[in-house]
Structure 1
């Protein structure tokens, strides 16, 4: 039999005697592989952005406006617009003239909500109004009645008609573009296998209600007989440039505007999460494998003493590890599909991603996760087996009894490098804008944890030596042996210390850095506005008539619509790239207006027509001054040449460009304002104004009035969605590290059966041995918490300073929960493992083989 086959047979045979260690390695690889495959699925979803069309399902080709903003400083990068980009009505004839086009069906969407005695229906999806011609895009079919031909007629979808309790020939109240509801005659009921309401009006009404005159939102293209949709799409793109031509699952992005905008968040989610999982997996798998190899030092030393070569020992350890790792990785294929689908479901269910987006997880995701998992396992086993394979037999036998806590020069140098990188990341953050700072200082929790993992044995020995007297005084007699074990078994304990430190650092660093940043963002944006009352509408739009009604309420000083969007300064280019600036649309010509940002020069009284109030920091960066004209690229892709009439002292990290609401609103998807900001007149009580505005809007269905806190809440809603992504990442990484801590701790305790048997033969009771183990676990837990907390500060403190504060912001219960979680991991696992380790009698434990 060849030496290689002998080594392989020995490796497979030895697995039977190390069930606990093999199980720990298998679980670590299984979970890591599952998470990597989940990340691959998220990335694949970002690349494909598949969303099956519903209301546009019958149109083989769908055409929309420009796909996005082509960055002036990039050759090919195009950033999707945040708002729906329309098609100029004049281009419809061009589309119809393309050879192979049988029919062009334009579609215009506007806010339309059925209003009953209980209020507006489906307020969460108010953009439901369309012209009847676009019903062919679903296709909708009439199950009763006739199409609407004259103004004042409407066709309802079956669900809306049933909810309103109305049939053909009846009347129904509909609020269009936030206006008071008016009665429409129901001429028909339509059916289609689609989700969401759809209200179809006559062509005359649809043209009147359109909030984007001169454009249509999209057009469905029907090919002539025998013409392939893909070929026709290519022909349209060539003949009518500048438009976005879609086929297949890509058509969903035309129906659901948030699809294209989900690409960057998904890529960031997959990239950040994948990088975090790779580092965590490398640390966890390395710690687990190193622990199992260290526990076999005596066995490996005996093999060397009986003639095995270093290469044979090394191969045997590699073979054992890779057999277990392969099983874990293969099991991770099933887990990756489940975890990936659950993560994606969580993000879509909580509003982080459009619910219509389809999760994609193909061969690339599964293959990539499998290869990376096996590569990490191989590298960890290869390095872990080196010391045992290279050691001289006699020396190895001595080290197997009392492994040295001292690490080699390579590990010590690596620890210094990663510690230096951690400090460098923290210091560099202080000189960066807050939006960049969050990405730079985040990896500090990982580099710091790597440094601890490399120098862990020496840290354990130092703590046991330096704080041993204190621990003995607190823990009593049972602590004496616990302190000695912490020093002499520093190498094994360091394998447990690594995941505890990592879990603590990731939990505290991610959560408190995010809460600090979000608090600063919400505060900065909300501080730019001031309002005593905030009016919103359940119809999805605030009409000018509602604003007039609010202005007439007693005690009201000024009323301004609030429009929010995103855009770029195109000329001179602001360089924001894929991160466009925030645009606020306001009516702030009143002296007692809703804009709280101080004006450093110019006057807000001139903010009307094609003008802009620019943050002073942006103006300085672009060398702009009062009176200069700039070209802006708005959220729907439209260009606007505006004149600077005021410079604002905006927060440096969170500036907002202020435009007249009348200029910005038509360039948003809804085309109208989404809320009203109300200021009390001089000398008027704010609470009384809220009450007066509430009374003035009582006859407006769906109108709600909030106090000044509603300004903050409007920004907090979007910020909370972004924060949830970071919380999700933290929870998954913490869970993985916690599983690793359980694995390594259980293996470390179970491997000491012979030691416990000797102690019991020497007179120690089970309770005394268990008490010793609980003190050892307490030392590990406290040290891991201290190190993890210290590492997290290199992320949290720089984030706080970059956000303009000194003390990090966040709930105290998170810190207390992390402390409780660590002890709930360490002590119960220690207690259970000790019970299993001492099931046998002392004599049996001492004579057991393979311990």
Structure 2
């Protein structure tokens, strides 16, 4: 280890690339994991003064994989609250029925539409958050409300699921939300799912006693378990942020290994004479391997120690932007996470050791005499392992592309993307094979010029250097063209395909609200569905929660999939538990073949059992009627609005991942060229003695760098475009319509230009230093 320390200290320039790659990788992982671990579920603020909460029982999971909870009816919640309030140590037990309400100012809904779904509460539940009146009196009538930011006696315009309303403010409350009289809240909400307890004794003892009272009718949570009551919408936001962080950590770790491996391989190639001398004086292959591992360990520890504070200090600065783009909920803050820092340190060291493994094994196998004999000659770029791995990935990628036409339509897109990634990997591994003919073709017009000849011949005898520079460019350009081309190609047809499925030219859609009110829908001429959640049971089989919509007649209509899962057919009776907790039995009137909601029932039945339900859209058959929180638009614009909303997140993910890839690619290119160019100082000295000027040498090396970038660009672009062609064919078969291939050339050009600028800068610096030293 002492020898390794001295080697690193005296030759740190040769380890600079590894140092920077590991430092940045550790900073990225430390920052990302700190952000991730800081983003944990939290109980809603409105329960901050309630250490014990009781929620309704779980009845399975929804389509998102989240637990679904059966509501208590108003009567059940009232009875259970009274029993819980009688427990020793309980000062109050309040049901918390929630419902949609949104403030209207100057005819426009205000506030966050998603938050508005949970903004309505019963006045008695205000105590669960410790909220009190700062002025006025509690609400008692159906049209009265206590709210923050409004003086008692004033009147406010609001939207509820029923439609616009005007409420009189009776009191000013010191917390968020709209608080109405308890009976009014129960009529506007879809049952009750939470009862909160305020206590003046030991919360753990109260929780134990409450469990005996509740039994199987609910679940009692206390302490940190209260965080499981975080709203599903907030949890989904955290999930989106987690996906980006996981992708960043995975991609960062993979590319860091690639950079470290490339750096170590090039460093080992440049140190053949030194390694040969060590072997000649008696160093065993094991000692050579241990030396390289020890050197890398020293660099990794120093780099990790440098990267940890960088990641820890950067993470809190990203909290605001993450909330702003919708990847973390409002109020999110980053806290210190020692486990994240410790794990990042260990991961950084392991990544470095993994990256040096191949170079260490290769160096230890070279006999002393061979190493000395090959010291001035570049070894072959293609090893048997590289041939095998490259050939295998190329064959597998080609096999997937060839088999795509015979695959099920739904599997073709996935197979196309998998084939593209395999072919990109194969191109990177087999790049040295095609570099020689490609360089000859590209440099053919300048083969007789002095600089052109030097570039051509210098490149042809340094295939390893060119491949080391071209490989990261190849992967980055291919990755960029593939991802952006895939997204752009799908976006180009998805909107039109979805719009074709809407049997109306004009759609009434929500405008600043989470859905359309009943009043807005009733004023229109057209068709719509009112989604709700219903638990369906038949013959001992529970199908789960399904959306319900309009149907004529007294019975219900099931879709084919739901009927098959329930083993139900027309004429059978099924048991239903509605969103408000009530139960009923209905007869299946028909089973429809077309896809759609799991069941259809009369709209008035849905409204009766789900007072808080909102309509997603109305397919208009007549002229639209103006309504608060609604706007008319074409079917194409309606679909495009949804696509644009999703596209913003997709674009953000692409920007982060491509930016991260380009950053590491720039590091790999710069490090390769810095090391390779610095090792060519004797060559530059010879050129100067032969009469070449510093400018001519700079033009030669710059042309070589650009040539390497061009080779990587052509290989990566060719593989990506060919793969996109197969992907487009799969999408055409899936949609049964022509699909134009869209490639965002602007993004690709920006990435290529960035790689070229970095390559030129990394070449120019050591060349100018070397030529100055030669003249000095």
Question: In the alignment, what sits opposite 1:374?
Answer: 349
Deviations 1:540-590 (A, max 9, x none): 443333223233xxxxxxx123556899998899999xxx99x77655x7x
Matches of 1:396 and 1:180, distance apart in 2: 85
Cα offset for 1:469? 5.6
1:500 matched to which residue of 2? 473
Alignment of 1:309-328 (within 5 A): 309-328=284-303
What is the match of residue 79 of structure 2? Answer: 93
Instruction: Give aligned pairs, total.
Output: 763
> C-alpha distance in 1, partners of 2:536/2:722?
35
TM-score under structure 1 normalisation? 0.78
Q: Higher helix fraction: Structure 1 or Structure 2?
A: 2
Counterpart for residue 80 of structure 1: 66
> What is the CA-CA distance between 1:181 and the residue it aligns to?
2.7
Q: Which residue matches 1:484?
A: 457
Displacement after TM superposition at 1:137 (Å) = 1.4
Partner residue of 2:674? 746
Deviation digits for residues 509-533 of structure 1 (CA, Å, limit 9, x no counterpart): 2233334445565554443323313
- Rounded Cα–Cα distance in structure 2 between residues aligned with 1:634 and 1:353: 32
Paired residue for 2:769? 839
Match of 2:711 in 1: 783
| Aligned-partner Cα distance in 1 for 2:325–2:394 | 37
Residue in structure 2 matched with residue 399 of structure 1 by the alignment: 374
1:116-265 paired onto structure 2 within 5 Å:
116-117=105-106, 119-122=108-111, 124=113, 125-127=115-117, 128-158=119-149, 161=150, 167-182=151-166, 184-192=167-175, 197-208=176-187, 210-212=188-190, 215-223=191-199, 225-228=201-204, 232=207, 236=211, 239-241=214-216, 243-248=218-223, 251-252=226-227, 254=229, 256-261=231-236, 265=240
How far does residue 710 in structure 1 lie from its aligned partner after superposition? 3.5
Query: Bigger CA drift: 270-279 or 758-767?
Result: 270-279
1:328-357 deviations in Å (ceiling 9; x for gaps): 222222343456556665554323454356
TM-score with structure 2 setting the length: 0.85
1:58 aligns to what?
Answer: 49
Match of 1:676 among 618, 635, 647: 618
| Contact 2:698–2:768, Cα closer than 8 Å, also in 1 | no
**Cα distance in 2 between the residues matched to 1:560 and 1:400:** 80
- Equivalent position SS for 1:148: coil
- Residue 325 to residue 513, structure 1, CA distance change in 2 (3 Å): same
Q: CA 1:403–1:237 in 2, change beyond 3 Å: closer, same or farther?
A: farther
Give the conservation status (yes or no) of the 8 Å contact 2:520–2:630: no
Q: Who is 1:550 aligned against?
A: 524
Structure 1 residue ranges without an equivalent (≥5): 1-7, 72-76, 162-166, 552-558, 590-605, 681-688
Please say if residues 511 and 630 of structure 2, whose CA atoms lie closer than 8 Å, have aligned partners that are also in contact: yes
Distance (whole Å) between structure 1 residues aligned to residue 580 and residue 66 of structure 2:
9
Distance in 1, Cα, partners of 2:534 & 2:689: 77
Mapped contact 2:538–2:568 kept (Cα < 8 A):
no
SS at match of 1:377: helix
Which residue in 1 is equivalent to 2:340? 365
Q: Relative to 1, partners in 2 of residues 1:738 and 1:484: Cα closer, same or farther, differing over 3 Å? A: same
Distance in 2 between residues matched to 1:574 and 1:373, nearest whole Å:
51
Give SS of 2:510's match.
Answer: strand
Deviation at 1:664, TM superposition (A): 6.3
- Any conservation in 2 of the 1:153–1:187 contact (CA below 8 Å)? yes
Quote how far apart the aligned CAs of 1:326 are.
1.5
**CA–CA separation in structure 1 for the residues paired with 2:203 and 2:347:** 45
User: How far apart are the structure 2 equivalents of 1:629 and 1:431?
Assistant: 43
Which one of 727, 747, 752 corresponds to residue 817 of structure 1? 747
SS at match of 1:315: helix
Which segment is superposed worse, 493-502 or 270-279?
270-279
After superposition, the Cα gap between the structure-2 partners of 1:260 and 1:793, relative to the gap in structure 1 and judged at 3 Å, is same
Q: 2-side partners of 1:329 and 1:642: how far apart?
A: 67
Given that 2:579 and 2:610 are in contact with CA atoms closer than 8 Å, whether structure 1 keeps it comes out as yes
Contact 1:114 1:121 in 2 (8 A): yes
TM-superposition CA deviations, 1:247-294 (whole Å, max 9, x none): 345545535332444576566545544443333222222112212222
Structure 1 pair 504/170, CA: closer, same or farther in 2 (3 Å)? same
Tell me the equivalent position of 2:433: 458
Residue 832 (structure 1) shift: 5.3
Q: CA offset at residue 374 of structure 1?
A: 1.4
Distance 2:338 2:672 in 1: 32
Equivalent residue of 1:79, what SS?
Answer: coil
Cα distance change on mapping 1:569 and 1:217 into 2, 3 Å: closer
SS of the aligned residue for 1:55 comes to helix
- Separation in 2, partners of 1:447, 1:561: 46
